Amino acid sequence: MAVSEEKFQQVRIVERKDHSPDLWSVRVRPEAPLPFQPGQYATLGVDYGSRRVERQYSIVSSPLEPELEFFVELVPQGGLSPLLHKLHVGDEFHVRRQAKGRFTLDVESGHKRHFLVATVTGVAPYMSMARTLARQAEAGNQPDAELFILQAASRSWEFAYRDELDGYAAKYGWIRYIPVVSRPWEDPGWQGEVGRAEDILRKYLDQFELDSTNASVYLCGHPQMIANAKGILRRRGFQKEFVREELYWLPSTRAT
């Protein structure tokens, strides 16, 4: 299918970090600034034969950074992620000029506390939020929001941004980070929380005293985590308008 070139810009990879054989981050330099809000996604495209294969990816970087960053999981049978996985520093791909999405911090409710729950790459939009607030804090503007980030992964090396998030949590009072590992038998050195995100959701709602009167909740990544967490939150009395979700793929496609 023909693509309308004016809707895209070409970006060049300036950095690539492989976190595991199927998880990596890339930083790209755009030709022109891509306006976006923390939490939004960009549409990436790679030309394959006569067509452009496109998918959405949450933006990891802050709008205050000159480069864009993405955190990608390889889906071996997938259309785009194997093409992206082959690209290295100096290679180029396409990005739609318009960022999209409504998975941004809830400012409508007046809630100052934000409980951000992710599976693996689902931490990407939260990184953009955290980096933006951290830059504001560095500039002397105390953030008017508290972030509580709960990230689940099979093994600890999949967290990718753990050092950065631990660093913010050590430095600032407005951010907490809880990583949880679901396959500790494959990661014997792991000493943190064990289970799935939804297994420890209640514990941290209680510990941080988060409820529907003071907090909004965000769920990003694996569709089954999102479905399970939504059930727990509903039973806890969270109204729909205080729960935002970003499904990375459709539920029927993957056994849990």
Ligand X SMILES: Cc1cc2nc3c(=O)[nH]c(=O)nc-3n(C[C@H](O)[C@H](O)[C@H](O)COP(=O)(O)OP(=O)(O)OC[C@H]3O[C@@H](n4cnc5c(N)ncnc54)[C@H](O)[C@@H]3O)c2cc1C
Interface positions with ligand X (CB under 6 A): 41, 55-58, 71-73, 75, 77-81, 101, 121, 124, 246, 248-250, 253-254
In terms of phi and psi (left: phi > 0; alpha: psi -120 to 50; beta: otherwise), the region of 120 is: left
Between 113 and 222, CB nearer to ligand X: 222
Query: How far apart are CB 52 and ligand X at their closest, in Å?
Result: 12
Between 218 and 248, CB nearer to ligand X: 248
- The strands making up 193-194's β-sheet, listed across from edge to edge, are 193-194, 175-181, 146-153, 113-119, 215-221, 243-247
Between 50 and 253, CB nearer to ligand X: 253
Which residue bears the tokens 């913010």? 168
Query: How far apart are CB 209 and ligand X at their closest, in Å?
Result: 30
Between 58 and 62, CB nearer to ligand X: 58
Query: How far apart are CB 59 and ligand X at their closest, in Å?
Result: 8
Query: How far apart are CB 254 and ligand X at their closest, in Å?
Result: 5
Query: How far apart are CB 233 and ligand X at their closest, in Å?
Result: 20
Query: How far apart are CB 150 and ligand X at their closest, in Å?
Result: 17
Between 179 and 223, CB nearer to ligand X: 223
**Tokens, residue 120:** 């693996």
User: Do 184 and 194 form a contact (C-beta atoms < 8 A)?
Assistant: yes
Task: Give the nearest residue (CB) to ligand X.
Answer: 78
Between 168 and 248, CB nearer to ligand X: 248
